Amino acid sequence: MKIVFASTQSQEQEICDLVRYIYSNIFPLYFTDDEISQFEQLKVLHISKKQFDEIGTLKDAFQVMTSIQTVISILESSHLNQQYSEVFNKNADNLNELGLFFPFEFEQFEAAKNMKPIMLSIYSKADNELLI
């Protein structure tokens, strides 16, 4: 007999928060609004109730959170170092294996960062929430 612990509601919320963070803080650093919109249509990192049921276990939920946090940490660094390529790609593979569609490799972000001029994005979080 094997005892398995189910993922908690707070873990599911944390995963959703991390996905929102990627869309609002990470993707705008590397991609245009049109590209990010396409990611939404392709359901990149989209999590449905069915996927939460498939993630299901405490261990899987922690793996998803850890993989997303690792990807975020690498992509938020001021310089994308090739030394992180293997770690990034391993975590991207983990996300795909756990049922989250993340079709990127490290080199895509490296190339995107070199090509994209700094712009405002509709996906970026507002600097302030009140306009006077």
Residue 71: how many CB atoms within 10 A of its CB?
26
Residue extents of the structural domains in the chain: 9-115
Query: Is 102:92 a contact under the CB 8 Å cutoff?
Result: yes
Comparison of pLDDT for 49 and 91, the residue scoring more: 91
Cα 18 from Cα 25, distance rounded (Å): 10
Question: What is the model's pLDDT at position 122?
Answer: 63
79-126 confidence digits (pLDDT tens): 888 889 999 999 999 999 988 999 999 999 888 776 655 555 666 665
CA angle, residues 115, 117, 118, in degrees to nearest 5: 140
pTM of the model: 0.80
Comparison of pLDDT for 51 and 63, the residue scoring more: 63
Task: Tell me what the mean pLDDT of segment 45-68 comes to.
Answer: 82
Question: What is the model's pLDDT at position 5?
Answer: 57
Residue 104: how many CB atoms within 10 A of its CB?
18
DSSP-derived secondary structure letter, 82? G
Question: What is the model's pLDDT at position 81?
Answer: 83
